[in-house]
Amino acid sequence: MRHKKPTFFYATLISLFLISGTTAQELEPLPDRLIVGKDRRFLYQKEGTKPFFYLGDTAWELFHRLNREEADLYLRDRASKGFTVIQAVVLAEVDGLNTPNPYGDKPLKNNDPTQPNEAYFQHVDYIVNRAAELGLYIGMLPTWGDKWNKAWGVGPEIFNPTNAEAYGRYLGNRYKDKPIIWILGGDRNPDREEHLAIIRAMAKGLQTGHKGKHLMTFHPQGGSSSSIWFQKDEWLAFNMFQSGHTQPNLPNYEATLQDYALNPPKPVLDGEPRYEDHPIGWNPEKGWFDNADVRQAAYWSMLSGALGHTYGNHNIWQMWQEGREPISSARTPWRKALKHPGSTEMGYMRRLFESRPFNQLVPDSAMIVGPAGDGADRIAAARAANGLFAFIYTPTGQSINADLRKITGSEVQAYWFNPRTGRSRVIGKFSNKSTQRFQPSTSGRGNDWVLVLDSVN
């Protein structure tokens, strides 16, 4: 007897799409406006009808260190891998005020935020426009945090509430018709009332300049979230936290769930998790984060309710190459680092989520019967609110005892999705009246799997 196809019969399509490369983004016109959906959990484009998967890459020094040919190489690579947002800083971290860009231009005259240098911003314009042509939004940081709170770094501090508002108004107006997401902060937390006033003034200026066309958030330092200070601020469209680079298996899902539970709800995103090829805890003697760490952080956060995820490569954020002083033991030239596997695997993740209506997902640890594990073995689960599908992630190939009663329909179609290759394999059909144990074909560190469950009508 022939079985009915499951409601979402995508296993073969996923495999073909994920391994064929990404060219669709270069062919689709990019809408210039994103909105927070009525669900208050996800971002949408096309006037709220199409959920937007935020797949970011941290290219903090993009405007400051790359010439146009290099920027084009970088952007084409990221577009081809399925990234949707490039996070870059106008007043960059690595002496961004006083060391000029490749064309000899500094961003400000006399380090005065009210005196922008037109030549420098023409280079920023080029990169913003090229990104848009490739289907990419720019997650634009007006400044790195050391320019308003020099807790460490180069600085100098140049902002006060008055010039922060003026600078924000200038940027907002200049890029009001471009695909931009504004990210205030820049790896610093507000330590006193003046800092809060500067951030809020800059946000006000941006809003005035872009006339409400763009979303805004705040990038804090490691271990913090924008929700600590700005959860009730109207300008903060979604929360961003930084889980950071301190240790392996850091449970960033806890930060995601914490912000997810806030009321009133706002979408949430890990805007800086552990970077690929970054020394663990900034100490090379402890080892280096790799693509397994990247995938673990990404799936943990996504299945805990995140709107999307940000990838980072330690060499690429600083655009390190021979002849430049490496920051925190950077060791791989950025062009070579483009080929590190983690960035490709993030594209696989995006396509898995987009193969289903991912905006219906809600975290649901009750999908897992018995202990969910801890540390590196922590299993994470999310299901569609209507019960039509579910994703369950096992970071080290541990067996999964899944409560199939959470899935609607007469039967459940199960697949294994391999986050390392982007391919999927049919497991079979099962009754949705009980618990079923699923065992991946490989286990151990780096052998992560996603169990995909679909309703069969």
Kindly report, residue by residue over 79-121, the tens digit of the pLDDT. Answer: 999 999 999 999 999 999 999 999 999 999 999 999 999 999 9
Cβ proximity of 279 and 328 under 8 Å? yes
Kindly report, residue by residue over 297-326, the tens digit of the pLDDT. Answer: 999 999 999 999 999 999 999 999 999 999
Cβ proximity of 362 and 236 under 8 Å? no
- 6 has a pLDDT exceeding 90: no
pLDDT of amino acid 32:
58
283-304 mean pLDDT: 98
- 46 has a pLDDT exceeding 80: no
Cβ proximity of 293 and 256 under 8 Å? no
Kindly report, residue by residue over 172-222, the tens digit of the pLDDT. Answer: 999 999 999 999 999 999 999 999 999 999 999 999 999 999 999 999 999
- 9 has a pLDDT exceeding 60: no
Domains of the chain, each with CATH number or no CATH: 31-358 (3.20.20.80), 364-456 (2.60.40)
Give yes or no for a cis peptide into 273 (omega within 30° of 0).
no
Comparing CA positions, the residue from 265, 258, 303, 248 lying closest to residue 446 is 248
| Higher-confidence position of 295 and 21 | 295
Poorest-pLDDT segment among 20-24, 261-265, 348-352, 447-451: 20-24
pLDDT of amino acid 25:
38
Distance CA 77, CA 278 (A): 21
Mean confidence (pLDDT) of the chain: 93
148: pLDDT confidence band, cut at 50, 70 and 90?
very high
47: pLDDT confidence band, cut at 50, 70 and 90?
confident
Distance CA 386, CA 361 (A): 9
| Higher-confidence position of 456 and 31 | 456
Amino acid identity for residue 347 in this structure: G
Phi then psi dihedrals of residue 124, to 5 deg: -60, -45
Distance CA 167, CA 171 (A): 6
Distances from the Cα of 294 to the Cα of 194, 256, 273, 311, angstroms = 36, 16, 8, 7
Task: Report the share of the chain in percent with pLDDT over 70.
Answer: 93
Tokens representing 49?
Answer: 């009808």
pLDDT of amino acid 124:
98
Q: How far is CA 218 from the centre of its chain?
A: 13
- 30 has a pLDDT exceeding 60: no
22: pLDDT confidence band, cut at 50, 70 and 90?
very low
* Sign, Cα dihedral of 394, 399, 401, 404: positive
Kindly report, residue by residue over 394-451, the tens digit of the pLDDT. Answer: 999 999 999 999 999 989 999 999 999 999 999 999 999 989 999 999 999 999 999 9
Kindly report, residue by residue over 443-453, the tens digit of the pLDDT. Answer: 999 999 999 99
pLDDT of amino acid 123:
98
